[in-house]
Amino acid sequence: MPESQPTEAEKSFSIAASGAKVIGSVLGKIEEERAIARALGKNILHSELGLLEDGELPNYQLDKSTSDRLLAHSRQDIVMCYSLLSDLQSLAHKNARNVSHTKRLLVLILLMNTLALFFFLIR
């Protein structure tokens, strides 16, 4: 049985995934996974918009009510994602500030211990 030729969408994603592996080798596994997720999302979007050369736009044959409902759910999903990202950014900022405070506290403790040791040795 002859193998079918890869579609434009498959070729495009394959190239993007290869690029993501290069990113991962430099920046780490998390960045690689993020790059693959972005590539997949962009690939699906381009496919749905007919920007890839695979033929026709998909025709889902949805009635107006269903189409409007799906559009509303998509908007809700976007708002939820934005909210989650905003929360994550806030948590990251708080954690960075906590790390900074912890470093200062450790330096202060180290200085106090050094002074205490110095005065102990002088006696």
Measured CA to CA, the distance from residue 87 to residue 98 in angstroms comes to: 16
Kindly state whether residues 77 and 100 are assigned to the same domain: yes
User: Per the structure, how many domains does the chain have?
Assistant: 2
Kindly state whether residues 85 and 118 are assigned to the same domain: yes
In this model, does residue 91 exceed pLDDT 60? yes
pTM of the model: 0.50
- Which of 13, 11, 15, 9 lies closest to 54, judged by CA? 9
Q: Which domain holds residue 112?
A: 65-123
Give the model confidence (pLDDT) of 10-27 as tens digits.
777 788 888 888 887 888
Tokens of 4: 């079918």
Kindly state whether residues 83 and 105 are assigned to the same domain: yes
